């Protein structure tokens, strides 16, 4: 980053981009949460109606959306734990950058495991 101001970019680098990622994933997850409670509420109305809506989640195209949603959830979860370390661990601010690379490493591994399992189930056909 240059030392002079460049447009509306704040400080850039790991600290700012993890903050941006945390906000964006948080909003996406919250919007899904509202929809998810509404679709689940159909179990109180009619079993067939619930099954019909769940069937839309079971098509392969939606499986890609679910995989993207879980990618967002996993990032928000691991980066959230990093935030807690930054706030409460004495060395947290000093190592916040390394912690972010740790977050991304764990994120890739857990996401890959989820995506392989979920997509093979969704595309496997049962």
- Residues within the interface to other proteins (CB under 8 A): 23, 26-27, 29-30, 33-34, 37-38, 40-41, 43-51, 54, 57-58, 63, 66, 70, 73, 77, 80-81, 83-84, 87-88, 114, 117-118, 121-122, 126
What is the distance between the alpha carbons of residues 63 and 120, in angstroms, rounded to a whole number? 10
Nearer residue to other proteins within complex by CB, 2 or 87: 87
- Minimal distance, residue 18 CB to other proteins, in Å: 15
Sorted by sequence, the CB contacts under 8 Å of residue 95 that are 6+ apart come out as: none
- Minimal distance, residue 8 CB to other proteins, in Å: 13
CA dihedral 8, 13, 19, 24 (to 10 degrees): 70
- Minimal distance, residue 80 CB to other proteins, in Å: 5
What is the distance between the alpha carbons of residues 12 and 83, in angstroms, rounded to a whole number? 17
Angle CA 64–65–70, to nearest 5: 100
- Minimal distance, residue 4 CB to other proteins, in Å: 25
DSSP state of 48: H
Nearer residue to other proteins within complex by CB, 16 or 121: 121
């Amino acid at each position: 980053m240059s030392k002079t101001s460049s447009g509306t970019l704040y400080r850039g680098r790991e600290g700012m981009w993890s903050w941006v990622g945390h906000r964006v994933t948080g909003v996406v997850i919250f919007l899904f949460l509202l929809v998810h409670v509404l679709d689940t509420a159909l179990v109180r109305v009619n079993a067939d109606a619930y099954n019909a809506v769940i069937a839309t989640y079971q098509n392969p195209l939606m499986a890609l959306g679910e995989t993207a949603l879980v990618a967002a959830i996993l990032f928000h979860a691991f980066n959230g734990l990093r935030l807690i370390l930054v706030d409460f661990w004495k060395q947290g601010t000093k190592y916040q950058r390394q912690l972010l690379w740790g977050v991304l490493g764990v994120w890739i591994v857990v996401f890959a495991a989820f995506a392989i399992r979920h997509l093979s189930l969704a595309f496997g056909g049962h």
